Structure formats: structure tokens, C-alpha cells
Amino acid sequence: MKPPLIGLTTYPAGQGHGYHTPVDYVHAVVRAGGAPVLLPPVGAAAIDSWLDALDGVVLIGGGDIDPELFDGGDHPTIYNLSPERDHTETALARALLQRKLPTLAICRGLQILNTVLGGTLHLHLPDVVGEAVEHRVAPRDPTLHRVRVAADSCLAGLLGSTEVATKSWHHQAIDQPGQGVQAVAWAADGVIEAIEVAGFPQLIAVQWHPELSAREDSSQQGLFDELVRMSSKRSH
């Protein structure tokens, strides 16, 4: 029985290194029984070929999305903009929605999905909700906080709880949900921490970073396990 092929998006190439994906994502996919394949931000032309071959996709975290994609203005904290990554991942997200391919969207990945569905983002959370809940530690380090999950959501069933400890690493989050987007988890300050999308039951989308605690936390690893389980139905 061959393992399902799971595509993972990547950071852009930079000086001294090529396209890359943090190892925590890769290890979580491997623990779940998937075979990881990296998807570099090289434009939309490759996407149909990718999705013809892949059984599932992880839209990983990373730098901010260009606010021009959701008419969001500007902010001095915006960082690591990448036009080529935005272009590739927005096209990929639209294709995933159309094909209903099993998808795990993490942090930036969730924001990409909300953006292509017509939603918007808060440009800098401390300006909106204050700092009672830390969503990252300066300069951009992850931090731990709890999240409340809607009891009737698919996500609560996957996590086995309506309250979970999460590792968080972001300064932006959903402002206006896109078409068909339903918030299903929230931080104590009201920040949306997970979504589900109408007509796309193959989607798991969280604002936090499950890969950072998946090795020690079976509920977070379970999100990758479920992605691979759904993907296995396609590969056999």
C-alpha cells in the first residue's frame, strides 16, 4: 500500500538557500504516513500537473500576504512579502477549492483561503485586539495560548475537545470572513483561530501552528493524521 503524496508549499528562495519548508511540517506528514513533496512558488502553470499527481496538500505558514490582494492598506509591521508566492498560492487555493482535494491550511494558508474567497485580514492584531493574548513573541517567536472550538464543528471532533492549547506565531488574522467561510475557533480576545468552508469538508484550516507541537501533542498531530487519512482514500 503506497503512502499518499502530500504536497507542501514552500518559502521563496533566498540568498544562500533554495525553496524550503520547515522540517516540522515534513516530519508531521511523515509521522501521519504521508509522502511529502515540496511545491515551490514558481507560478500557476504547474498547478494542474501537481494536483493530478497529489493526494493532499498542506498550505504552510510564512510571511504576510500583500494587502493589495484584499484591499487592506498598509502597515509598518508587514514583512516578507513575496509576489511569486502570493501568485502561486492564491492560484493553488482556488484549484484546491474547485477540486475539493484534501487540504490542511495553516496560518498563512488559512489566510490565503480566506483571501481568495473574498475575505479580509486585520493587518496587525495588537492594533485591533490589544495584547492581552500574545499571538507571537517579539521579534516573531511562537507562543502558547488556548483556543475555544465550536462544539458542533468538525474540528472539535478531530481535536477531541472544545478547548485546546496551541502554539501561535502570527500578527494577522481574519477580519471579514470570505464567502462560505465559517469561524469555528477563537482565542480569548476574539481572534478567529480556525475556519470551515461550506461545501469543502475535505478542508482543515487553523490559524495556529500544529506542526510545532505535533510531536508531543497527539491532538495536533491528529490534524496531519486526518489529512493523510482523507488523502489515502484518493491514492488507493
Sketch the domain layout of the chain as residue ranges: 5-233
- 3-class DSSP state for residue 198? coil
Q: Using pLDDT thresholds of 50, 70 and 90, give the confidence band for residue 235.
A: low
According to the CATH classification, is domain 5-233 in 3.40.50.880? Answer: yes
Active site residue 154: no
For residue 140, pLDDT beyond 90: no
Of residues 146, 155, 151, 167, the one with CA closest to residue 226? 155
75 belongs to the catalytic site: no
The amino acid at 140: R
pTM: 0.97
Mean pLDDT computed over every residue of the chain? 96
Catalytic member of 193, 196, 209, 226: 209
Residue range 39-87, pLDDT digits in tens: 999 999 999 999 999 999 999 999 999 999 998 899 999 999 999 999 9
List of residues 6+ apart from 205 with CB closer than 8 A: 103, 104, 105, 106, 109, 110, 113, 194, 195, 196, 197
CA 114 vs CA 61, 131, 173: distances in Å: 14, 24, 10
Distance CA(223)–CA(77), nearest Å, equals: 30
pLDDT in tens, 105-137: 999 999 999 999 999 999 999 999 999 999 999
> For 17-80, where are the E strands, in sequence order?
35-39, 56-59
Q: Catalytic residue among 89, 193, 196, 211, which? A: 211
Kindly name the residue from 107, 135, 171, 193 that is annotated as catalytic. 107
Dihedral sign (CA 52, 41, 88, 118): positive
Strand segments (E) across 156-224: 163-168, 173-174, 181-187, 192-197, 203-206
Closest CA to 210 of 218, 221, 202, 225: 221
Verify whether residue 27 is a known catalytic residue.
no
**Per residue in 164-216, pLDDT tens?**
999 999 999 999 999 999 999 999 999 999 999 999 999 999 999 999 999 99
